[in-house]
Structure 1
Amino acid sequence: MEAHAGANQRIARISAHLHPSNFQEGGDVVIDRANCRAKGGAPGFKVAVLGAAGGIGQSLSLLLRMNPLVSVLHLYDVVNTPGVTADVSHMDTGAVVRGFLGQPQLENALTGMDLVVIPAGVPRKPGMTRDDLFKINAGIVRTLCEGIAKCCPNAIVNLISNPVNSTVPIAAEVFKKAGTYDPKRLLGVTALDVVRANTFVAEVLGVDPRDVDVPVVGGHAESQYCLFCHR
Structure 2
Amino acid sequence: MSANKITVVGAGHVGATCAQRLAEKELAREVVMIDIAEGIPQGKALDQWESAPVEGFDSHVVGAQDYEAAAGSDIFIVTAGIARKPGMSRDDLLKTNAGIVRSVSKEIARVAPDSIIIMVSNPLDVMAQVALDTTGFPRERVIGMAGVLDTARYRSFISLELGVSVEDIQALVLGGHGDTMVPLVSYTTISGIPLTQMLSQERIDALIERTRKGGAEIVGYLKTGSAYYAPSAAAVQMAEAIVKDKNRILPCAAHLKGEYGQDGIFLGVPCKLGEGGLKEILQVELTDSEEAALRTSAEAVRDTMAALG
Alpha-carbon displacement from aligned partner over 1:117-175 (angstroms, at most 9, x marks no partner):
11222221112123211222111111110101111010011111112111111111102
Partner of 1:96: 60
Partner of 2:155: 198
The answer as to whether partners of 1:74 and 1:99 remain within 8 angstroms in 2 is yes
Alpha-carbon displacement from aligned partner over 1:79-103 (angstroms, at most 9, x marks no partner):
21122011112113322332103xx
Partner of 2:142: 186
Partner of 2:120: 160
Pick which of 146-155 and 202-211 moved more: 202-211
Separation of aligned partners in 1, 2:64 and 2:175: 35
Separation of aligned partners in 1, 2:75 and 2:15: 15
Task: Please tell me whether residue 150 in structure 1 is matched to residue 110 in structure 2.
Answer: yes
The answer as to whether partners of 1:193 and 1:219 remain within 8 angstroms in 2 is no
1:208 offset after TM fit, Å? Answer: 2.1
Partner of 2:100: 140
Unaligned runs of 5+ in 1: 1-41
Tell me, what secondary structure is at the counterpart of 2:170? coil
CA RMSD across the alignment: 1.9
Unaligned runs of 5+ in 2: 186-203, 209-309
Give the alignment's TM-score, normalised by structure 2.
Answer: 0.55
Give the alignment's TM-score, normalised by structure 1.
Answer: 0.72
The answer as to whether partners of 1:49 and 1:119 remain within 8 angstroms in 2 is yes
- What are the residue-to-residue correspondences of 1:1-231 with 2, within 5 Å? 44-51=3-10, 53-79=11-37, 80-90=40-50, 91-92=52-53, 93-101=57-65, 105=66, 107-176=67-136, 181-190=137-146, 191-228=148-185, 229=204, 231=208
Alpha-carbon displacement from aligned partner over 1:53-106 (angstroms, at most 9, x marks no partner):
2111121111111233411111111221122011112113322332103xxx1x
AA of the residue aligned to 2:6: V
Separation of aligned partners in 2, 1:127 and 1:146: 31
AA of the residue aligned to 2:152: V
1:219 offset after TM fit, Å? Answer: 4.1
Tell me, what secondary structure is at the counterpart of 2:164? coil
CA, structure 1 residues 209+43, in 2 after alignment: closer, same or farther (shift >3 Å)? closer
1:183 offset after TM fit, Å? Answer: 1.1
AA of the residue aligned to 2:151: V
Separation of aligned partners in 2, 1:43 and 1:161: 25
Task: Flag the structure with larger Rg.
Answer: 1
Greater strand fraction, Structure 1 or Structure 2? 2
AA of the residue aligned to 1:182: P
% of aligned pairs identical? 31
- Give runs of ≥4 in structure 1 deviating > 4 Å: none
1:44 offset after TM fit, Å? Answer: 4.0
Separation of aligned partners in 2, 1:100 and 1:164: 25
Tell me, what secondary structure is at the counterpart of 2:69? helix
